[in-house]
Each structure stands twice: as C-alpha cells, then as structure tokens.
C-alpha cells in the first residue's frame, strides 16, 4: 500500500467479542501510531512474526526516527542526527510492514477507523485530504510533549525539546548567538560578550543539555570561532523542586549539581518560574534572569489529540488511561504504550514513570498480548521492572543508579562505569529496533563514527 492511501478493503464486520477470548480469524489490520522507542520496536517484532499473515502499518507524522534521549546532543550540536536517524520507509519495508506518513487526528471506535489529518506541503499546498484508515487492533505510541504547566509566555518564548525539529532549531539559534558574541569580541564592541541560556527543568534533559553545551562550546574554536569558548557561556538551570534529578538518590543529585557548578552552570532549586518573555525568565522569588536562549524541559503531558479519541478515558495531563494489560479502559481493541499512556499497576498508587525503559517493556507486553488476542488466549498484565536511571554530563561525568527495584534498592554509580552503562542504553535500543545482526553492526559503526566524524555539527 502506498504511504498515503488507506487500505481499500471493505469496512469490517462488528468486532469479535474479546471477553470470552474468541480468536480473531482472518487477516487482521494492526495499526501502530508513533514510531518512537516503543512503537518502532513493537513494529519490528510484529512484522517479523506476523508480517505475512496480517496487515501491519506504522503511522507517523515525520519520516525519520531519532532516539528521544539523544535530542539534547542534537540541540547542543554534539550529535549529527543525519548519521543516527532511522528512515521509516526503508525500515518498515525490511520488516514486512507498511509505513504511512500522516498525523493522527482522532479515532472512530464504532467503525474502527483511524482519523488522519490533512497533509500539506511546505508552501501550504494540500497534499492529501482528511481521510480514514480501518483497523482491527490499534496501538497508540505517540509519546508525550513537554508540559508548560500553563506558565505565562512559556509556550511562545521557549524551545520545547520534543522532537528533532525543535533540537535543530535550538542548535541553529545557539550557533548564531555564538557567532554574534565571537564577532563582538573580535571587533571590540563594548558590553558583556556572553551567550546567556536559561533551562527550565532540572530533570535528566535539562541537566544533560546544560553539560553538553559546555562540551560543545569548548570545540567551537576548532570551527572558525576563535573568540569563543566555554568561558563565554552563561547557563542557568532552574528547578522548581528542592533538588535536581529527583529520580536519582540524593547523593548523586548533589554530585551532579557540584559538577555542573564546576563547569560554570548556575543551578537554582526551589525556584518556580512564573513568566517567560522574549528576553528573560522571571521566577517566583522575583528575580529576572536575562537569556537570549530559553529552553523548557520541565514535566511531560500527552498531546491534545488524545482528548479527541472518541470517548477514551484520559487523565488531567491528557494521557490515555490503560488497564494493566495496556488496553485502554473503554476499548479492548485499542492499546497505548509509552509516555502517552497512564498505567497504574495493581498494588501501586503511582503510574509507571515516563521513561524509555518503560516504553520498551510495554512494547514487549503488547506484542505478547496481541499474539494472545489473535489466538483467543487470555492476556497478561504488564510488569514494570525499574533498571535504574543514568544521566550523562557529557564528557565530564556520568551519574546514575542501577538495578532499581530489582534488588530492593538503587545501587549508585559514577564515573567510567556509569558512562559505560549509559552508552549501553542506546546500544540496547539499536538491538531492539534493528535486531541482533544489524544492531551489532550499527554499534560497531558508531564506535568508528565517534572517532572520525566532527566533534560538533555546525551546519
């Protein structure tokens, strides 16, 4: 099926009842919306096992995948996304599934049809009108967006690091500002020749970006900006809570803050942001923090499109509420995985945290449950295994905790061991998405690229 043509098959009959575990006979139409960490892994597994027996389609509103935990490196210029991205079209063809380029707009549950928004060219020309794609089983895996918590001016005046486009935009603005400062220093223009950056949110994204910026700035002298280095950066990291990296043990949180401050980052805790303007960030303490570049990395929420899912239950952050089987509470044929869903497991009072490891584990459970659904077998509940958290401070340090609840508590690690563990996370992602053979080849290629490719991307 071509990318932008819906399946021409006739509308399906009424759905087979699932409560009595009736097998789903015939060729089933399985649609995965979202090609992030969980969706892409699930697509490969379903395509490998069921690609010849059933119609499996991956829908995404962009053409390539970049692992979201790497976006801070793209934003700082430390990573060339062109070398690490995955093209959906070729990837889907390899695993025997279809790729559909489009934006989910909603769902018609009575007719079991996915609603696709009109698609326009760069100049606004209509490429494809609004239309529908029928499904028998639907998996929503569109991830989440950054939560601005209704802060005045945040959405308008900050970059939200939700996708590659935003990361590229931030990098371009950063390079332009660095060039202005370098030029001003060279020509002797009066004033403070620094690039002021405010990062709101002291979680993993904000902390990793702050450190990566200093690493990238130190390399700019090798790329034509002789009058610019890390001493001309003035980064402020603003956290509303009592400490940065709240998911890590307090000892590691303090270690990360010490390292950031050693680099030159000003770290503010217990400092909620009340307003963001075009030139500054204002805090609840009354302080005005001037900043030419402002990035918001505080909290996550579901996309507003999830509020238009034909009555499916969502929480106050617009995430689909799912049962322990990862089926939505009001429709057995619709699953949700990753950051776009809220799953509170039996015996717990908090939802599974929005992490990449949770999305990978959810993909495994949904793969198993879809296979069971096709055969009319009972499904199993999702079990979340916390393998810990790791945060990279670029080439300067890495901190984290391993094992998590697997051993009844976290094991704190720092330094080289933590760095190796952090690198293994991306390697595990490559193996999950590409399979063992190609995954191992890409890991080896990545080691070579780390040596021969430019240290930063300046174009």
Crossing angle of helices 436-452 and 415-434, rounded to 10°: 130
428: Cβ contacts below 8 Å, ≥ 6 apart: 360
CA distance 442 to 203: 29
Report the chain's mean pLDDT, rounded to a whole number: 86
With b for 16 or more beta-carbon neighbours within 10 A and e for fewer, the 257-274 pattern comes to: bebbeebebebbeebebe
Structure tokens that stand for 213 in this block: 């910026």
Cα separation, 8 vs 99, whole angstroms: 16
Where does residue 140 fall: left (phi above 0), alpha (psi -120 to 50 degrees), or beta otherwise? beta
The Cα–Cα gap between 433 and 44 comes to 7
Tens-digit pLDDT profile for residues 330-356? 999 999 999 999 999 999 989 999 988
Report residue 263 CA to chain centroid gap.
27
pLDDT band at 406 (very low <50, low <70, confident <90, very high): very low
pLDDT in tens, 168-199: 999 999 988 888 888 887 777 777 788 999 99
Residue 208: the pLDDT is: 92
Q: What is the largest CA-CA distance in the chain?
A: 79
pLDDT, tens only, 291-323: 999 999 998 999 999 998 999 999 999 999 999
pLDDT tens digits along 235-272:
999 999 999 999 888 888 998 999 999 999 999 999 99
Of 304, 371, 301, 300, the C-alpha closest to 335 is: 371
What is the mean predicted confidence (pLDDT) over 132-145? 96
Reported pTM: 0.87
> What CA–CA distance (Å, rounded) separates 144 from 387?
21
Residues forming beta bridges with residue 388, ordered by sequence position: 402
How far apart, in whole angstroms, are the C-alpha atoms of residue 212 and residue 15?
51
pLDDT tens digits, residue range 194-224?
899 999 999 999 999 999 998 888 777 666 6
List Cα–Cα distances, 143 to 68, 139, 358, in angstroms.
Answer: 10, 12, 12
pLDDT for position 122: 85
Using N-to-C axis directions, what is the helix angle for 37-50 and 356-375, rounded to 10°?
30
Smallest CA-to-CA distance from 386 within 363, 365, 410 is with 410
| Token duo for residue 13 | 């009959």
Q: Which of 444, 435, 438 is nearest to 40 (CA)?
A: 435
d(CA 412, CA 415): 11
For the chain, the C-alpha Rg in angstroms (whole number) is 23
Which CA distances in Å does 171 have to 12, 74, 166, 264? Answer: 47, 7, 9, 20
Tell whether the model's pLDDT for residue 274 goes beyond 60.
yes
Q: Could you tell me which residues come within 8 angstroms of residue 424 by beta carbon, excluding any fewer than 6 positions away? A: none
Domains of the chain and CATH, by start: 29-144+302-375 (3.50.50.60), 148-299 (3.50.50.100)
């Amino acid at each position: 099926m071509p990318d932008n043509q819906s399946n021409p098959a006739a509308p399906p009959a009424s759905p087979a009842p699932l409560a009595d575990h009736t097998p789903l006979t015939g060729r089933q139409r399985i649609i995965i919306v979202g090609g992030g960490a969980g969706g892409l892994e699930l697509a490969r597994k379903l395509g490998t096992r069921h690609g010849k027996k059933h119609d499996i389609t991956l829908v995404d509103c962009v053409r390539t995948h970049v692992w979201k935990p790497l976006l801070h490196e793209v934003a700082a210029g430390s990573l060339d996304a062109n070398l690490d991205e995955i093209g959906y079209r070729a990837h889907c063809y390899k695993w025997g599934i279809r790729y559909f380029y489009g934006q989910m707009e909603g769902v018609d549950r009575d007719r079991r049809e996915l609603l696709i928004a009109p698609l326009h060219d760069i100049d606004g020309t209509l490429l494809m009108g609004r239309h529908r794609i029928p499904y028998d089983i639907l998996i929503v895996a569109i991830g989440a967006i950054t939560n601005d918590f209704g802060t005045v001016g945040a959405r308008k005046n900050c970059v939200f690091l939700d996708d590659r486009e935003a990361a590229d935009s931030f990098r371009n603005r950063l390079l332009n500002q660095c060039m202005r400062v370098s030029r001003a220093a060279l020509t002797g223009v009066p004033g403070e020749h620094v690039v002021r950056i405010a990062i709101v949110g002291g979680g993993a994204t904000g902390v990793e970006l702050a450190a990566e910026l200093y690493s990238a700035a130190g390399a700019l002298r090798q790329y034509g900006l002789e009058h610019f280095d890390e001493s001309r950066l003035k980064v402020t990291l603003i956290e509303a809570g009592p400490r940065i990296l709240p998911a890590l043990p307090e000892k590691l949180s303090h270690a990360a803050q010490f390292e950031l401050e050693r680099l030159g980052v000003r770290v503010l805790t217990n400092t909620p942001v009340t307003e963001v303007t075009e030139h500054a960030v204002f805090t609840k303490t009354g302080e005005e923090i001037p900043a030419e570049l402002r990035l918001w990395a505080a909290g996550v929420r579901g996309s507003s499109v999830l509020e238009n899912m034909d009555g499916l239950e969502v929480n106050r952050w617009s995430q689909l509420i799912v049962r322990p089987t990862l089926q939505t509470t009001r429709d057995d044929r619709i699953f949700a995985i990753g950051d776009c869903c809220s799953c509170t497991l039996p015996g717990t009072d908090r939802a599974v945290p929005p992490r990449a490891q949770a999305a990978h584990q959810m993909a495994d459970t949904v793969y198993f449950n879809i296979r069971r659904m096709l055969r009319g077998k009972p499904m199993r509940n999702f079990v979340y295994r916390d393998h810990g958290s790791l945060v990279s401070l670029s080439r300067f340090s890495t901190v984290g905790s391993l094992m998590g609840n697997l051993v009844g508590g976290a094991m704190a690690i720092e330094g080289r061991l933590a760095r190796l563990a952090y690198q293994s996370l991306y390697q595990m992602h490559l193996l999950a998405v590409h399979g063992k053979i190609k995954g191992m080849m890409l890991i080896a290629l990545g080691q070579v690229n780390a040596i021969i490719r430019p240290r930063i991307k300046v174009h």
